[in-house]
Amino acid sequence: MECYAETRGRGPDLVLLHGWGLHGGVFDALADRLADHYCVHAVDLPGHGASGAVGVFDAAAVADALAAQFPLPVHVLGWSLGGLVAQHWAARHPSRVLSLALVSTSPRFVSGPDWPHAQDAAAMRAVADALGGQFERTLENFLSLQTLGAPHARELARALSASLFAHGRPQGLLPALECLLSDDARPLARDILAPTLVLGGERDRITPPGASRWLAEHLPHGTLHMFGQASHLPFVSHAAAFEACLRQHLDHHA
């Protein structure tokens, strides 16, 4: 399993992992700016963008494949689904991850009796059920949910929608959604030894702020930065502040 990746810049290696339903191109603006000091690799996760589909999207197996694809120690930024993969990567290959940035993500994406910081499983299964008959509309509705509550939410959603298929029509979204429904990475937190910056939005409807706070509290070397007016896309809605915070983290651990 090798994932498509676009690389730009020179310097320490930084791997960017996107969220469900999108592709590495969602990071284009951020990657272009970071390329002045970093060699930035924007990955298309399996079944997304230009990367081939997999029958089962197993976050641990994807993490192992990425560790093999980028064997030198790297900085890793994971957003949403990408953040779940990044947690597995850092826990399973601690010597390969120099630093970690977890953006609007969670160790568990569905709620339960001991985990209120997530969506109800029924809501996520409804997305899965809708994919077969209303593929484009389902993705666009999901994009709208990601921007809800952020400044200029409609403009953000339109911009994301316009680039939705920029890397091709995704071929394997359902297995990745099943991964989000089933994976529980909370036991991994104690094994993530990389210095980790947790970045979240106080208005996030997909990964509520409590998930970010839990990660920062339970990771051995976690620090937290919350964006008060942001939803699920702080690297887009609060681009300048996000970049400044990320650069400080990366430079400190370069």
State the catalytic residues: 80, 204, 232
Is 95 annotated as a binding-site member?
no
Is 20 annotated as a binding-site member?
yes
Is 177 annotated as a binding-site member?
no
Is 232 annotated as a binding-site member?
yes
Residue with tokens 């980028």: 70
Is 145 annotated as a binding-site member?
yes
Residue with tokens 């940035």: 101
Is 143 annotated as a binding-site member?
yes
Is 231 annotated as a binding-site member?
no
Q: What is the DSSP secondary structure assignment for residue 111, as one 8-state letter?
A: -
Q: What is the DSSP secondary structure assignment for residue 238, as one 8-state letter?
A: T
Tokens, residue 152: 């200029």
Reduced to 3 states (helix: H, G, I; strand: E, B; else coil), residue 108 is strand
CB 85 within 8 A of CB 155: no
CB 192 within 8 A of CB 215: no
Question: Distance between the two ends of the chain, CA-based, in angstroms?
Answer: 28
Is 119 annotated as a binding-site member?
no
CB 187 within 8 A of CB 236: no
**φ, ψ dihedrals at 197, nearest 5°:** -100, 120
Is 146 annotated as a binding-site member?
yes
Tokens, residue 94: 């601690």
Tokens, residue 243: 């970049």
Q: Which residues are annotated as a binding site?
A: 20, 80-81, 142-146, 232
Q: Which residues are annotated as a binding site for substrate?
A: 20, 80-81, 142-146, 232
